[in-house]
Structure 1
Amino acid sequence: MTATSERAPEPAAGTDPATRDGLGLAVLPAATEPVLARVAERAGEVDRAEADLWDELSALGELDLLAAPLPLAAELTHALARRCTASAFALWGHRSAIAYHETTGTPLPDGAASGVVALASGMAPAFKEEAGLGEIPLLATDSPEGAIAVSGVLPWCSNLRPGGWVVTPVRWEDGRRAVVRHRRDADGVRVKELTGLTALDATASGVLLLDQVRIPAQDVLTHDLPAFRDDVRATFLQIQTAMCLGLAGAALDAAEAGADDVAREVLAEELSAAAEDWRHLREALAAG
């Protein structure tokens, strides 16, 4: 969401690259400021899974920001990460899954752009397989009319909220690969919730167990997994990097603010080096 008038909107909190408040990639609309304030206020409750982080993500969806262009998406993810780890993590997964649809020209499920429906990215096995770290665990078999049936266990996925959609890679025994989507609540899908996570219990993370889940042809995003990985890699990593820089910057801010005179003297070299590393990484992200 960007301004269309001649006068630019006042920047929201979290956009100043002169500090660690922002990445300098885009200016967040002023309307995000109250949403970010609520994220910060409720971060402790979200950490303890006593509040639903999706309330604020839905509010961002009402501002047309969940499917925002990449620079704004990265800036927003960074701003969330400075305030609440779990909220940024959830946005990263949702926005990545939106990118998968954009890359393949697949229309988004109804409600995904507004945040009414959550999207889950289960693509980690595709990137791990590319790196030689294992095989895609979801096995597909052909069905009539171009549909496929998928079975297997995906050991980790987040944003597994009722009513949502999941994007995953699948493989056939003959070596074919594809990227598909399915409803979180489809027949044959079970979710084993993962709890006891460090500040991430509110992310609706779990193990996906699929048993002959039918995927119609229109829900196959692509049969060209290598090209897909190449096309989405930059978006996936830029949003992830924005999240990590937000977390790291907030940690540095807290360390600098909390250090007493003795700590500042003893740790001066380490704090300076960490701050310089953060600046270099931010500049590299902006240049990319």
Structure 2
Amino acid sequence: MKLATYTANGQTRTGIVVGDAIIDSGVAGTMIDLIRDWDHHKGDLEKKAAAGGGVPLTSVRLEAPVQRPGKIFAIGLNYADHIVESKMETPQRQVWFTKAQTSVNGPYDDIEIAKGTMTNDYEVELVAIIGKGGKHVSADDAAGTIFGYCVGNDVTERMWQHGGPQWSLGKSFDTHAPMGPWIVTADEVDDPHSLGLRCFVNGEQRQSSNTEHLVFNIWSQIEHLSVGMTLEPGDCLFTGTPGGVGAAMDPRQFLQPGDIVRCEIDGLGHIEGTMVAEV
């Protein structure tokens, strides 16, 4: 099932995407509320999806599927080719950073270049959305904690990222976590470790890889994070980006106002944003 957060007639709701239409879920609250009570709502939503109807997707505004995640974590240096181009060693332990809630952005919204910054970059990533969650989750049990997956762009301001010993400031600028266009529930993703992912800037392909090349797979990521914290419904995990980022090109190619950045993942759809200068 594809589940989206959308705005129509001034109201933001959750809905089921079927083909080119969206059907209101009828569930009060946010996507996090729906995820939390999924076992209660799933049957009714499946019936609504089968019945069809709804309104055209083009008549609504798609928002980030989870607009205010409790936690946004992202793993760095998790594809071999990205490690090589970054001129760093393969990490022996997982390298994690956070992205602020205020970085969350819709799938087709503009992406801001903040005042005084000049080294904005793209990073296509598979995003895992936590469902049941928990603490001390083993790798063997990790798949059962995931509600679904979506496309993400871990937009990064490189000078701020590398201006200190940690990366979170350079990863947390407003609008720098576009996600969407919807969540594909985990039962409809046969193998999250076999998905092609790509990024384009102004139609030029910059990144192309497959999640089979993750250094630390998604199950080990969940096992690692849940050692010290409880993963909760709606938490978002950016699972790593492959090689091809602008900072590694010669000469370096950072994003400029007017650039259009498209990220896509097999079976999950695509997101696309235009870079704009902060006013």
Q: TM-score under structure 1 normalisation?
A: 0.30
Greater Rg by CA = 1
> Which structure is richer in relative contact order (CA contacts within 8 A, separation 6 or more)?
2
Which one has the bigger strand percentage? 2
